[in-house]
Structure 1
């Protein structure tokens, strides 16, 4: 377990909350566990998008966003799909629209 420093946030694909721990998923396939909650990391990584109770995604690694009815998911550049919470769909769509506008 580590207290992760955020200077290399470009290498982080997404963060996954697991009770009182957070699992960092990196571009190179490594995973590191932090002893802090996802909420605490969200405060530090404010450019990341909260897509569900368990996931915080780096927007620079989003390849595609798809939605069918009330189901939505994000496809990352490494090929991994992460489901978007039904209650977060509008927020995620707004954040992705802002990214495309830039």
Structure 2
């Protein structure tokens, strides 16, 4: 079924979304926690015919610790107003005038 979903989307690469769509068609709960923006490149393990792995980039922990932090976001703010009171829209700056 996942292959059918892939072909219906006119793609040649099977994605995790195709598998989730196929599971949904079969009324099975989807797989949670994994999504991929593109195809994963698997490598064959040396000395093993049927063993594959994804070659992840090694990251030095020292570089991660010493990296500068991103700028803190601006303070968050929340404002609210009544859009309409008893069916009447008040003429205040927050409400755009209604042309009618």
Tell me whether the two structures share a fold, i.e. TM-score over 0.5.
Answer: no
* Alignment TM-score, normalising by the size of structure 1: 0.16
Higher relative contact order (CA 8 A, sep 6+): 1
TM-score by length of 2: 0.16
- The structure in which a higher percent of residues are helix is 1
Larger relative strand fraction: 1
- Which structure has the greater CA radius of gyration? 2
